[in-house]
Copies of this chain bind each other. A is one copy, B any other.
């Protein structure tokens, strides 16, 4: 654990929701100095013009054009769309930088699956091999050594955390279908204007989208398919709230297990995890985790069926919070540094 040195950090893509959230968190981090910020539409403006909440040091930074500047920070967070991130990441890695990529570009090990899923050619298949999937609860040691970490998709993180313990411990009947019914707040869709996110349409509304064909499914399958292919049905739905994901995952168990036995497995597998709480009574709900990097997990069982609920904040634990968690591991800081000040905004 090194505590004395301050690390210089650059953020590429500061005008979206995840870039904004990173600025907010890193400002609470004792050992970070943001030295470079990049944007497209916002290039040329000072950060405080876009984000008046920032403190003195960060606020005066000018938003610049990534391709016109010399990159001098040690670490970079990439907050641009998939397809566009590839090139930025590759050039930064080549320059010897450490990179945390919040896009989907380096999450999938297979370039073929990436191309099928995102409809974009992958130009750096070699880098895919060295990239580490940024789920600290599974890849802590690899992340510590990584030069490039691919931050998980928000829905994927929730889904994987809900299923990993029982699958790893081989308690699931994997011949039976696994259902992941996910519900997410609207900020997951980003800042881009869309008819279905026009307030009068989305307010008081609720609907499924991308049923059975969502882009996070390959990520989930990649991380959970231990020995055999899984039969996963993944369906996300859009909630009329700002933030929050709640995933309800249904599995068939090999043997009858009580709620308490399931909880014990999760407590063992996630032992020592700073951000995961296993609830023994009640169920996870969005407002218990909103504004935090925490993950709440709950359960119910009946006969040989189990349902596991996971709640997290899609912009924090689902994106920028976990990105900082990964950063802390890569840079050798305490895992909760900068993240423990994020307590739930309730009500």
Contact = CB atoms under 8 A, between A and B. Distances in A.
A117 interface: no
Q: Which of A201, A205, A287, A347 has the most CB of B within 10 A?
A: A347
Given A176-B176, A240-B241, A244-B206, A186 B200 contact: yes
Interface in A275-294: 277, 283-288, 290-292, 294
Interface stretch (A127-135, A207-215, A317-325): A207-215
**Assembly stoichiometry (copies):** 4
A248 B231 contact: no
Contacts of A290: 204, 345
A309 B286 CA distance: 23
Interface in A298-340: 298, 300-302, 305, 307, 309, 311, 340
Given A183-B237, A241-B240, A307-B233, A203 B347 contact: yes
Contact of A233 (B53, B305, B341): B305
Q: Which of A52, A233, A305, A309 has the most CB of B within 10 A?
A: A233
B206 A203 contact: no
16 contacts: A177-B305, A179-B179, A181-B248, A197-B198, A199-B202, A203-B241, A204-B243, A205-B287, A206-B241, A208-B298, A212-B302, A213-B300, A233-B305, A235-B248, A237-B248, A291-B345
Interface of A: 17, 20, 24, 27-28, 52-53, 55, 176-177, 179, 181, 183, 185-187, 189, 191, 193-195, 197-209, 211-213, 231, 233, 235, 237, 239-244, 246, 248, 250, 252, 277, 283-288, 290-292, 294, 298, 300-302, 305, 307, 309, 311, 340-341, 343-347
